[in-house]
Structure 1
Amino acid sequence: MAKRVGSRKKDDESALTRTVNSVFSFFRFAEFEILFVLFFVIAFIIFKDLTSRPEYSQILVKKPDGGGFWPY
């Protein structure tokens, strides 16, 4: 049986090449889960930033000018 010209054994690859290949194979395997968690992390950071602003906490507070509950 003839050996292919471009084929190499796993033993011939360096440790860095094997590490990079394993990271890429893991990402291909768990791509949806990684993106799902990343979406929620980004959404949490944006929501936390929005709710930490002082004007957000004043949305449902009655205004001192007697304008009622809603600003419009």
Structure 2
Amino acid sequence: MIGRRAGTNRVGMRRDDSLLTRFVDSVFYFFRLAEFEILFVLFIVIAYVIFKDLTARPDYNRMLVEKPGGFDVWPF
């Protein structure tokens, strides 16, 4: 009875639950199952957006592209 009230330990979906309740329960179940992977992907996406924003500025772009004087093994 406690599992039913708290929404945990549900082995199977009950047929008398509404479609919306079953959908929300399945979404929460998926999030609990894949919580680490979802947070890891969000971290990578946020880090990419921040890095892309930093490298899009002209002063950072110039620093990454231009080489200081001297001989370079890979001239371009």
Fold equivalence (TM over 0.5): yes
Total equivalences in the alignment? 57
Separation in 2 of the partners of 1:43 and 1:37?
Answer: 10
Structure 1, gaps ≥5 residues long: 63-68
Q: CA RMSD in A?
A: 2.0
Q: Which runs of 4+ in 1 moved over 3 A?
A: none
Aligned to 2:15: 11
Deviation at 1:10, TM superposition (A): 0.7
Separation in 2 of the partners of 1:29 and 1:57?
Answer: 41
Give the helix-richer structure, 1 or 2: 2
Aligned pair partner of 1:44 in 44, 48, 58: 48
| 1:59 match: secondary structure | helix
Tell me which structure has the larger Cα radius of gyration: 1
Deviation at 1:59, TM superposition (A): 2.2
TM-score normalised by L of structure 2: 0.65
Structure 2, gaps ≥5 residues long: 5-12, 69-76
TM-score normalised by L of structure 1: 0.69
| 1:12 match: secondary structure | coil
**Sequence identity, in percent?**
63
